[in-house]
């Protein structure tokens, strides 16, 4: 009996170890990471470009929220930002312009290893300085920038790769990377945490149980892009959408992993976040959430969609350069 127990424990340990290594340390095609870099870079450019319209009012030494008040707001928590040290409007404009240049370089994939790290640091600096304008969009921008900086996000669909091919005089083969897989896994796990806690937060509100919560959002003219008040004539539709939103969010971290249910979960994300974007006026937030959900789209599908043909997986990949193959 003890022998059977020890044999079971050994097999359980080996299986857990092998599963852990397969999850984190199998090489993957960086195509998905490259596409997320382009779209996240575009979002970083846009969301920081809008600060230019009122740069001094929001970020200057005499801004609406003074640097010392922001630091007091952060309290004992360490909140770094080089924007705290800038006192000249001219220097602020120069620093802001350089930040936008870095974001553009990161988006197109130029010197991606360095521009990726700089993009993350700049994003954190703006978040810590502009606490009066901090929303979920900025937080998603922040963790995507971090995970993209960790992995080789410039290994696909980038100016870096195009320049490397020009130097070689031929098309470079696709190389799978453990680093790309680690970055993708971090995004995937973070998205599961985001949706799980979003659902648990909703379940603390009575209107999410009664099915009335979405009506409160749709009837708020302040956030409307499209008038959705016509749904008041269909209370059962509002109830259904309210409960489906909670069910989808709370089940996301479970149903997104099996191959059979993953397409359904991702497809459900599209109308949900487009509804947030255009029905509630939060277009940029809806877009960044869809961009983050791309982490669950297989790289072979990304390549076939962008490069043409959806009927077969790409055959022009090298054996993994580090460990194993990609599994998504």
pLDDT tens for the chain, 328 residues long, are 788 888 888 899 889 999 999 999 999 999 999 999 999 999 999 999 999 998 988 888 888 887 777 777 777 667 888 998 898 999 999 999 999 999 999 999 999 999 999 999 999 999 998 887 788 899 999 999 999 999 999 999 999 999 999 888 878 888 899 999 999 999 999 999 999 999 999 999 899 999 888 888 777 777 767 777 788 888 899 899 899 999 999 999 999 999 999 999 999 999 999 888 887 778 899 999 999 999 999 999 999 999 875 444 444 444 443 333 344 4
pLDDT score recorded for residue 226: 75
| Number of Cβ atoms within 10 Å of the Cβ of 262 | 16
Q: Is the dihedral of CA 290, 140, 278, 212 positive or negative?
A: positive
pLDDT score recorded for residue 32: 96
**What span, in angstroms and rounded, lies between the C-alpha atoms of 9 and 48?**
53
**What span, in angstroms and rounded, lies between the C-alpha atoms of 44 and 150?**
17
Domain ranges of the chain: 27-152, 177-297
**Which pTM value belongs to this model?**
0.88
pLDDT score recorded for residue 76: 60
pLDDT score recorded for residue 102: 98
| Number of Cβ atoms within 10 Å of the Cβ of 47 | 18
CA angle 14, 17, 22 (to 5 degrees): 120
Interhelix angle 112-129/67-74, rounded to 10 degrees, is 90
> Taking a C-beta distance cutoff of 8 angstroms, is the pair 57, 64 a contact?
yes
pLDDT score recorded for residue 290: 96
Please give the backbone phi and psi of residue 138, each rounded to the nearest 5 degrees, phi first. Answer: -65, -35
């Amino acid at each position: 009996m003890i022998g059977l127990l020890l044999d079971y424990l050994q097999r359980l340990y080996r299986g857990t170890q092998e599963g852990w290594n397969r999850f984190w340390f199998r090489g993957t095609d960086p195509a998905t990471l490259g596409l997320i870099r382009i779209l996240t870079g575009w979002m970083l450019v846009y969301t920081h470009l809008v600060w230019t319209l009122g740069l001094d009012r929001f970020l200057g030494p005499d801004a609406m929220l003074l640097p010392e008040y922001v630091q007091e707001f952060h309290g004992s928590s360490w909140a770094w930002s080089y924007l705290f040290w800038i006192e000249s409007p001219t220097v602020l404009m120069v620093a802001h312009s350089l930040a936008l240049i870095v974001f553009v370089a990161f988006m197109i994939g130029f010197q991606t290893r360095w521009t990726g790290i700089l993009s993350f640091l700049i994003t954190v600096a703006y978040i810590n300085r502009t606490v009066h304008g901090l929303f979920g969009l900025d937080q998603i921008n922040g963790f995507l920038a971090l995970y993209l900086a960790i992995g080789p996000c410039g290994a696909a669909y980038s100016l870096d790769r195009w320049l490397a091919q020009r130097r070689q005089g031929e098309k470079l083969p696709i190389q799978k990377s453990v680093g790309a897989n680690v970055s993708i896994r971090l995004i995937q796990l973070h998205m599961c945490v985001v949706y799980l806690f979003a659902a648990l937060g909703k379940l603390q509100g009575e209107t999410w149980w009664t099915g009335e919560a979405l009506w409160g959002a749709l009837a708020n003219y302040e956030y409307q892009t499209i008038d959705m008040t016509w749904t008041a004539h269909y209370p059962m539709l509002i109830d259904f959408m309210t409960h489906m939103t909670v069910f989808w969010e709370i089940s996301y971290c479970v149903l997104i992993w099996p191959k059979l249910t993953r397409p359904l979960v991702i497809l459900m994300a599209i109308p949900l976040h487009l509804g947030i974007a255009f029905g509630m006026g939060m277009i940029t937030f809806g877009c960044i959430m869809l961009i983050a959900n791309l982490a669950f789209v297989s790289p072979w599908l990304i390549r076939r969609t962008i490069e043409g043909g959806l009927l077969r997986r790409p055959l022009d990949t090298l054996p993994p350069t580090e460990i194993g193959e990609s599994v998504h």
